Amino acid sequence: MSRAANPPRTAAGRSASRPDGDATRSHLLETAGQVFAERGFAGTTSKEICARAGTPLASVNYHFGSRDALYAAVLAEAHRQLIGLDDLVALKRDLRTPQDKLRAIVGRLVALATQRGTPWGFRVMLREMLSPSPALPALVDKTVRPKARWLLGLMAECFGLPPEHPAVQRAVMLTVLPCLAVMVAPKEVPARLLPAAARDGDALAADFVHFMMAGLEALAQAPRSPPPPRRRGRARADLRSGA
């Protein structure tokens, strides 16, 4: 058989195949997210993901390198489904005061937490919080930390304090953690225990925002005691280490 019968792939030929490859990768990511949401990290295999996706068994390694790398991508997408950094930036674009910007962010988080339908990312994050996987540190460094840094800056504006101040960091924690708890909690629980509150998601979201903003305003107005002095032994250790 002559070489002309099997011409080498050109750059144009390779680029023409990329859309199909991207589509397969996206399909695998979506399917894997659903399977990980159902079975968790430890209970999910590449074989099951590929069978559910209708792709060859080697697809996971080909597109992601390994099942662990696929799960890391699923975690990043799950966190984006909760709220992305671009979403945070867009929410405050047309608002002037830091308080208005923070109110918009809290409102967005609460709206996500109280919506009826939830994407698979919510269940993936719930499983990850209850049983952390080896992928969690990378998720924190690459995905969570930039959002936390951004929110710390906004909260620091509201408090008139630097982002590293303990009061600012506690305020971020008190703002984000309740929203995340409501986001990832099974919707059947409040529906069974507090049916009147669970029926009106809009009212619940509005009350949640008022409650959190009032609490943050009270914290911002509270007198601040100076931070505790550093122990001398620790100071010497810091000097020796160059801190």
CATH of the domain at 51: 1.10.10.60
**CB neighbours of 240 closer than 8 A, spacing ≥ 6?**
none
What is this structure's pTM?
A: 0.67
Query: Do 139 and 55 have their domain in common?
Result: no
> Is 143 a member of any domain?
yes
Q: 231 vs 20, which has greater pLDDT?
A: 20
Query: Do 86 and 74 have their domain in common?
Result: no
pLDDT digit string (tens) for 62-78? Answer: 999 999 999 999 999 99
Q: How many folded domains does the chain comprise?
A: 2
> Is 230 a member of any domain?
no
Residue where a domain stops, chosen among 54, 79, 104: 79
Query: Do 192 and 98 have their domain in common?
Result: yes
- What is the spatial distance between Cα 150 and Cα 160, in angstroms, rounded to a whole number? 15
pLDDT at residue number 60: 95
Query: Do 146 and 50 have their domain in common?
Result: no
pLDDT digit string (tens) for 145-196? Answer: 888 898 899 899 989 899 999 999 999 999 888 877 776 667 777 778 888 8
Residue 110 has pLDDT above 90, yes or no: no
Query: Do 90 and 132 have their domain in common?
Result: yes
Contact 91, 159 (CB under 8 A): no
Mean pLDDT of 131-144: 91
Residue where a domain stops, chosen among 57, 79, 101: 79
> Is 186 a member of any domain?
yes
Q: What tokens does 147 get?
A: 């959002």
Query: Do 165 and 116 have their domain in common?
Result: yes
Query: Do 92 and 169 have their domain in common?
Result: yes
Contact 128, 138 (CB under 8 A): no
- What is the spatial distance between Cα 212 and Cα 226, in angstroms, rounded to a whole number? 25
pLDDT at residue number 40: 92
Range in 69-73, 87-91, 137-141, 154-158 the model is least confident about = 87-91
Query: Do 144 and 28 have their domain in common?
Result: no
- What is the spatial distance between Cα 131 and Cα 119, in angstroms, rounded to a whole number? 20
Residue where a domain stops, chosen among 29, 64, 79: 79
Query: Do 209 and 164 have their domain in common?
Result: yes
Query: Do 215 and 120 have their domain in common?
Result: yes
pLDDT at residue number 16: 38
Closest CA to 117 of 212, 201, 28: 201
Q: What tokens does 193 get?
A: 């225990």
Q: State the residue range of the domain holding 68.
A: 20-79
> Is 103 a member of any domain?
yes
pLDDT at residue number 243: 43
